[in-house]
Amino acid sequence: MRARSIRRWISKIRKLPLHPQWLVAVSGEDRMLAAALGTLSGRVLDIGCTDRRLAALLPSGCEYIGLDYPDTAVTMYHTRPDVFADARGLPFPTASFQGVIFKDVLEHVPGPEAALREVGRVLQAGGHLVLWIPFLYPIHDAPHDFQRYTEHGLQEYLRRCGLRVVELEPVLTPMETSALLTCLALGDAAEQILERRLWLAPLLPVLALLVLSANLWGKALSWLPASRFMPAFYRLMAVREAAGPQ
């Protein structure tokens, strides 16, 4: 209980470098997501919609349909989507959407290839998929966290489902990713102290200073030349090919 209360309070300072996920907050994720969703039109399906917040980022004229799994929507997020369903068996006709959103959801789907095939099925030819997924990021929403993909795996699985990747970008440089993981490990240690080792509470200010330090050095070193080998997340857009899934 203590850790959850602290987590709610910490969420209010997400854009300050004392927050373990500050590097994500200042990565431009909201801006990039708004730009991606701004390209969609027509009927749009948001799989794993939680509180339906992405509806506000769509252009006017879009018909938004939010879908979520009953167990996670009701039990974990206390939200009510437009449709309760499993991503592996979408209750919609073939080629009934011009856009699909799959943000931070695919890692939580057991049998993700079946879900991607369903996305390929319900998208019209020329329709777009906007997908966000972690690569190097801790287990979250346990026990509903099942897999991670490389960018090469993503492209291959999407190709099999009749989807061609037109944009795929890593999010966070290797230095930022390593700093983010360090901060999250320190945050986990703080939570464990609050929940199980309260006698170690005097160490909490030290952990906070270490989070601040890791965030700042991660950001300061992010200008160094780097390859794509170690991002925290991937963001991509894919288009539904005219031919069906292979």
Residue 24 has a pLDDT of 96
**What is the structure's pLDDT at 7?**
65
* Residue 5: predicted pLDDT: 62
CA distance 152 to 227: 15
Per-residue pLDDT, 242: 83
pTM: 0.91
pLDDT, mean of each 10-residue run, the chain (246 residues): 62 87 94 95 96 95 94 79 95 98 96 96 98 97 94 96 96 98 96 93 97 98 96 98 67
What pLDDT, on a 0 to 100 scale, did the predictor assign at position 117? Answer: 97
- Smallest CA-to-CA distance from 233 within 103, 39, 57 is with 103
How far is Cα of residue 111 from the mean position of the Cα atoms in its chain? Answer: 18
* Count of positions (residues) in the chain: 246
Query: b/e for 61-76, b at 16 or more Cβ within 10 A?
Result: ebebbbbbbeebbeee
Q: What is the pLDDT of residues 14-23, one digit of tens each?
A: 889 999 999 9
- Res 243: pLDDT: 65
pLDDT the model gives residue 1:
55
Residue reference for tokens 């999250």: 184
Average pLDDT of the chain to the nearest whole number = 93
